[in-house]
Amino acid sequence: MKNIYGCTLEDLEKYFIQIGSRKFHALQLFSWLYEKRIEDYSMITNIKKEVLDSLSKEYSIARLQIVDVQEDTDVCKYLFELEDKEHIEAVLMRHDYGNSICISSQVGCNMGCKFCESGRRKKVRNLETYEMVLQLLMIEKLLGERISHVVVMGIGEPFDNYDNLIRFFEIINHPKGLAIGARHITVSTCGLVPKILEFSTFPLQINLAISLHAPNNEVRDRIMPINKAYPLEVLIPAIKTYLERTNRRVTFEYILLKDINDSDECALELSHLVKDINCYINLIPYNETNNLDFMRTNTVQIMRFYDILKKNNINVTIRKEFGGKISAACGQLRSKKEEL
C-alpha cells in the first residue's frame, strides 16, 4: 500500500477524478494533512465517508518510528526506523533565523566519500518521498515549533534519488503543504553532473550546494570517487551552466581535513578555481568519527584558510559547529545502532 505523504497535490487530484469524486478534495485533503496535521482519516469532516473509505484502502497514513533522540546545544539528532527496519537520521539545528532540519534521502550511500560515515556503509535503497516528508513532519510535531528551513544533506546522495527528491520539494513547498519557501530549501550534491544540469530547469528556486572539498583533481580523486566520473573540468562548466539558466548563487561546501586539503596552497588554489563563479564557500570543521582516520583541522589553520579566501575576494563563511557530543556527523547514529 502506498503512503499518503508521498502524494503531490496533482497525484491526489488525479486519484479523486479517477474514482469519480471531486478534484477539489485533493486541496481539502492537503489542508487536513499539512495545516491541521490529522493522523487519521476519520478526523476529516468535509469529505464523504465512502470517499475516505476508498482512500484508506489505497493510501496508508502510517508514520515512521523515532527510536533514538540525542541532544546538544542548539542541535537535536533523531534516528528513525523505517517499515523495513532500516534506519535513517535527521538533524534539527536552531539558528537565529529559525529552526533548520537536515534530512536523509537514502538508506546508506554509494558515493563512497572517504571522510563520510554514510559512505562507509553502502546504499541499501532510496528513500520514498513519504519517508522524506515524514522526517520533517514528525520532528516538527515533537518540537512543537515550525521548521522554517530544510537542507537535504543527511545520509545519501540526493541527486541519486532525483524523482523522489523533486516530489518532496513540491509537497513541502506547496502553500497548502508545508509552505516552506523555495529559497529556504537547499539540496547538496557531491557532483552528479547530469542531474545538476537537469535541476537547472526545475522551476522552483531551490538552493544548490556542491560538496567540493578539494581545490584540484588530485586531492578530490583521493577523497571523493565521484571525481573520477565527473572531474573538475566537467563539474565546473556544469555549475556555470546552472548559473546561466537560474541566475542563482551556488554554495561550495568545503570540509577541512587536517593535512589533506587545508594548506595555504589549497586555499589559494580554491580561490582561483571559483573566482569567476557567483558563489560562496562554506568552510566546515570536520566532525571526527571513530570509524575513519581523518582529523579536524585546528582552529588556527581554519582561520588562516578563511583569511586567504577573504583576501582573494571570495565570499566565505565558517559553518557553526553543531553536535560534537552527539555523533552528529552523517551516518554515525545509524552505524552505532546497526553495528552493535
* CA dist., res. 40 & res. 60, Å (int): 10
Decide if 87 contacts 68 (C-beta within 8 A).
no
**DSSP reduced 3-state for 208:** strand
Of 227, 185, 237, 230, nearest to 208 by C-alpha is 185
* CA dist., res. 340 & res. 337, Å (int): 6
Catalytic site residue from 7, 13, 89, 157: 89
Decide if 44 contacts 52 (C-beta within 8 A).
yes
* CA dist., res. 317 & res. 309, Å (int): 10
Asked if 321 is an active-site residue, the reply is: no
Decide if 87 contacts 331 (C-beta within 8 A).
no
* CA dist., res. 116 & res. 121, Å (int): 9
Of 247, 248, 252, nearest to 232 by C-alpha is 252
> Alpha helix locations (H) across the chain?
9-18, 25-30, 49-58, 117-120, 129-143, 162-173, 193-199, 217-223, 226-229, 232-246, 264-274, 299-311, 332-338
Asked if 89 is an active-site residue, the reply is: yes
Decide if 130 contacts 164 (C-beta within 8 A).
no
Report the side by side order of strands in the sheet with 185-189: 65-72, 75-81, 87-95, 98-103, 149-152, 185-189, 207-211, 250-256, 279-285, 316-318
* CA dist., res. 108 & res. 157, Å (int): 9
Kindly list the catalytic residues. 89, 330
